[in-house]
Chain A
C-alpha cells in the first residue's frame, strides 16, 4: 500500500492502516522523542500523544509528496516533545555572547561516528540539546526556534554555540575525534 493510500485509509478510520502507519514511523519517532526528552517513559508518552493527534487531525492533512507526511508528523512530535520539556520546571535558556567558527564545526563533526554523536547529544543539558536538535537536526532557523521556545534569537544562537562547544569537548576527551 502506498503512503498516499495509507493516509486515505487512515482518514476513513481503518484500524489496520493506522497500525501500519504506526509501525512505519513509531521507531524513528521514539528515537526522535528520546533525543529531546532523554527519558524513555517520557519519550513513549510523547510518541503516544503524537499518534493520537496524528489520527485525530489527519483529515486536515493534504498529501503532496512522499516526504510531506513524515515532515508533518515530525512537526507534531517535536511540538509535543517541547511541551513535555516545558512541563519540566527546570527548562531555562540563558543567553551568553560568544563567537563561533562554522568551518571548524564542519571539520569537527564530519568524521564523528553517528551513534556516538547521537549518544553525546543525549548527554547535553536540556537547553543546549533542544536548540541543537531543532537547529542541527530538524532544520529550524533561529527565528523559528525563538518563536517555538519563547526566547530571543540571540539566546538561540548562544545555546547552539554552547551545545557545539560541549560536544567538541566531549569528543576530544573521549578521543573519538576524526573517527579514532
Chain B
C-alpha cells in the first residue's frame, strides 16, 4: 500500500464519523418496510408448508387409522365408520332413483341385492357400490333406449336361366283322376271265385 493511502483513509474516515443531516428517519422507515415483508413472507411460507404437511399427512393418518380399525375390529370404531358411510350410500341411492326409472329395477331381478343394499347392509361397507350401480343403470338405459331402424326389403332381381325356365314351363298341372266310378261288374260272378280278383275302390 502506498504511503499516502493510510493518511487519506484516516482523514476521510474522520470526516465520515461527523454527524450529517439527511433523511435518516425516512430511510429507516423504508428499511423497515423492506425488512418486515421479508420476514412476513418467510413466515407465510412456513405456515403454508405446515398446513400442507398436516393436510397431506393428516389425511393419510386418518386413512391408516380407519384401515387399522377395520383390520382389528374394535366395535366402537366399526360402528363409527358405519354411521359415517351409510348416509353417503343413501345419497347414492337417491341419485340412482333420479337417474334410472323404476321399471329398470323390476326387470333386473338378479341384481336386486344392489338397490336394497343401502337399507339392508348396515354392518358392512362396499366401497365399489356406486360403480356397480352406475354400470347397471347404464346397461339398462341402453336396452331401453335401443331404437329400431326399419329397413326396406328390396326385391331380388335376377334372370331365370333356360334349364330352369324349361322346368318351369314343363311343369303342368297334372290332373289325376283320383276317383273312378266303379263300373258295374259282371253280373255273374264266376263260380271260380277263388281266382277272381275283386277290384273295388272305396270312396
Contacts and interface: CB of A to CB of B under 8 A. Distances in A.
Interface of A: 13, 15, 18-19, 22, 26-28, 30-32, 35, 40, 43-44, 47-48, 51-52, 55-56, 102-103, 105-106, 108-110, 112, 114-115, 117-118, 121, 135-139, 141
Interface in B19-34: 19-20, 22-24, 26-28, 30-32, 34
Interface of B: 1-5, 7-9, 11-20, 22-24, 26-28, 30-32, 34-35, 38-39
A145 B155 CA distance: 105
B14 A114 contact: yes
B9 A32 contact: no
Contact of B4 (A22, A32, A102, A114): A102
Contacts of B20: 27, 30-31
B15 A115 contact: yes
Given A19-B28, A44-B23, A121-B12, A135 B5 contact: yes
Given A110-B4, A112-B11, 16 more contacts: A26-B27, A27-B17, A27-B19, A27-B22, A31-B20, A32-B16, A48-B30, A48-B34, A51-B27, A52-B31, A102-B2, A106-B7, A108-B4, A114-B11, A136-B12, A137-B12
A121 B38 CA distance: 37
Contacts of A137: 8-9, 12-13
Contact of A52 (B4, B16, B19, B35): B35
3 interchain residue pairs of minimum CB distance:
A114-B11, A28-B16, A31-B16
Contacts of A117: 8, 11-12, 15
Contacts of A15: 32
Contacts of A114: 11-12, 14-15
26 contacts: A15-B32, A27-B22, A28-B16, A31-B16, A31-B20, A44-B27, A47-B27, A48-B27, A48-B30, A48-B34, A102-B2, A102-B3, A102-B4, A105-B2, A105-B3, A106-B4, A109-B7, A117-B8, A117-B12, A136-B8, A136-B9, A137-B12, A138-B9, A139-B1, A139-B5, A141-B1
Contact of A136 (B4, B18, B26): B4
A136 B35 contact: no
A21 to B, nearest CB: 10
A118 to B, nearest CB: 5
B38 A56 contact: yes
A171 to B, nearest CB: 13
A103 B7 CA distance: 13
A30 B35 contact: no
Contacts of A18: 35
A137 B10 CA distance: 8
A32 B34 CA distance: 22
Contact of B12 (A13, A19, A26, A118): A118
